[in-house]
């Protein structure tokens, strides 16, 4: 009996797999994939359950990647349905993870089920790389699975990531790359003292504001053909001072940079550290800076598979998808180290929101798109 995308999506949503909890969702996928003949390997890294499943042993290996973990539901009273019920209302499937991204996983498995029926023998392999650690810090998920696959020299020839790439309408956008993301944690140290005797102290507050003003006004670039301009945003400024008549000893700030492929995290660190060093030296302060790099900017140069996918999406949705690098980051940043990849999934308008939902008709179309992709890839 073929696997139905809507039925499977409901079952996946009913597993409350809030990062890093699995809640039985990986075993549910294993059960469905084993019924299609897949060899399934569960990879546990610390408290995270991941899955690498493969059908076939030969090349080329077409991989579908995704995540089963979801974000918390927020205010439960604001939901119109129970967030883990997988309820259908007005031709919409509502539930946490419907859009991001249990719906697209269900569509791909349903497409696989149909593909196996129409083409039981094909030259090559199909694999799924599914993680339970994408929505949080993503260190025990796809990153570790990719390292393991690399170590055992398992080749992936092309990867399709099922993230909800469309803003408002199915077919609008495919992602062919992502900007890099780096967060900086800055502390400026002065000398504490009485506000009435500023000459006996050194206030770090005006120094950190000077620094933030400088880095906020750096024009990093004007963008490229495939990327929008890089941008730096200050997200936190803090001085832990409980008194109004004390010059503080230190001030802290946090900033995030989303950068295109004209930069690397190292080149940006050098540029910023120079500003910190020069400003603090002029103002007789010291500083400490640490960085967390979530990923470097990358671009998958469009190839025949990219254009084939674009053509299929246009044929089924009547919309030609834009090849884009906008938005946040995704697990494609890890997969691109071993394989070219593109991202395409459902509409992400309600992802992470109250009453997260997807259109039932969009799910049918997405299953058809994924089926067509497999049929064309394994011609």
Written as six digits, the tokens of 311 are 């053509």
Beta bridge partners of 237: 253
Identify whether the C-beta of residue 224 lies closer than 8 Å to the C-beta of residue 268: no
The number of beta carbons lying within 10 Å of the beta carbon of residue 122 is 19
Active site amino acids: 69, 134
How far is Cα 200 from Cα 45, in angstroms, rounded to an integer? Answer: 53
The number of beta carbons lying within 10 Å of the beta carbon of residue 151 is 8
**Parallel, antiparallel, or unpaired: how do β-strands 87-89 and 158-161 relate?**
unpaired
Residue 352, judged by CB atoms within 10 A of its CB (0-12, 13-18, 19+), counts as middle
Beta sheet of 125-131, edge-to-edge order: 39-45, 48-55, 125-131, 61-67, 158-161, 341-343, 173-175, 322-324
How far is Cα 180 from Cα 292, in angstroms, rounded to an integer? Answer: 11
Q: Which residues contact 365 (CB under 8 A, 6 or more apart)?
A: 170, 316, 317
Identify whether the C-beta of residue 326 lies closer than 8 Å to the C-beta of residue 135: no
How far is Cα 358 from Cα 346, in angstroms, rounded to an integer? Answer: 7
Question: What sign has the CA pseudo-torsion 186, 189, 195, 199?
Answer: negative
């Amino acid at each position: 009996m073929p696997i139905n995308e809507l039925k499977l999506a409901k079952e996946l949503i009913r597993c409350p797999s809030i990062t890093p909890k699995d809640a039985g969702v990986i075993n549910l996928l294993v059960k469905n994939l084993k019924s299609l003949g897949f060899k399934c390997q569960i990879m546990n890294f610390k408290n995270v359950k991941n899955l690498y499943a493969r059908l076939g042993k030969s090349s080329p290996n077409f991989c579908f990647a995704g995540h089963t973990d979801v974000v918390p539901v927020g205010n439960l009273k604001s939901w119109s349905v129970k967030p883990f019920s997988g309820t259908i209302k007005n031709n919409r499937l509502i539930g946490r993870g419907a859009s991001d991204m249990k719906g697209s996983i269900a569509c791909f498995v349903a497409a696989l089920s149909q593909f196996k029926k129409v083409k039981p023998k094909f030259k090559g392999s199909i694999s799924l790389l599914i993680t339970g650690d994408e929505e949080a810090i993503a260190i025990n998920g796809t990153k570790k699975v990719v390292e393991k696959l690399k170590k055992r020299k398992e080749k992936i020839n092309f990867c399709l990531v099922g993230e909800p790439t469309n803003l408002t309408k199915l077919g609008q956008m495919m992602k062919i790359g992502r900007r890099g993301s780096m967060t900086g944690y800055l502390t400026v140290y002065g000398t504490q003292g009485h506000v009435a005797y500023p000459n006996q102290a050194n206030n770090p507050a005006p120094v950190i504001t000077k620094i933030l003003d400088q880095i906020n006004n750096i024009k990093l670039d004007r963008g490229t053909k495939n990327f929008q301009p890089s941008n730096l945003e200050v997200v936190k400024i803090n001085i832990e001072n409980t008194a109004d008549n004390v010059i503080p000893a230190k001030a802290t700030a946090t900033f995030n940079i989303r950068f295109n492929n004209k930069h690397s995290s190292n080149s940006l660190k050098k540029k910023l550290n120079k500003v910190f060093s020069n400003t603090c030296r002029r103002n007789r302060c010291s500083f400490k800076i640490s960085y967390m790099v979530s990923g470097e900017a990358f671009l998958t140069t469009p190839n025949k598979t990219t254009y084939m996918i674009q053509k299929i999406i246009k044929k089924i949705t009547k919309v030609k998808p834009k090849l884009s690098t906008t938005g946040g980051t995704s697990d494609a940043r890890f997969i691109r180290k071993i394989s070219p990849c593109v991202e395409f999934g459902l509409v992400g308008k309600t992802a992470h929101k109250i009453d997260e939902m997807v259109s039932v008709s969009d799910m049918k179309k997405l299953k058809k798109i994924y089926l067509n992709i497999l049929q064309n890839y394994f011609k």
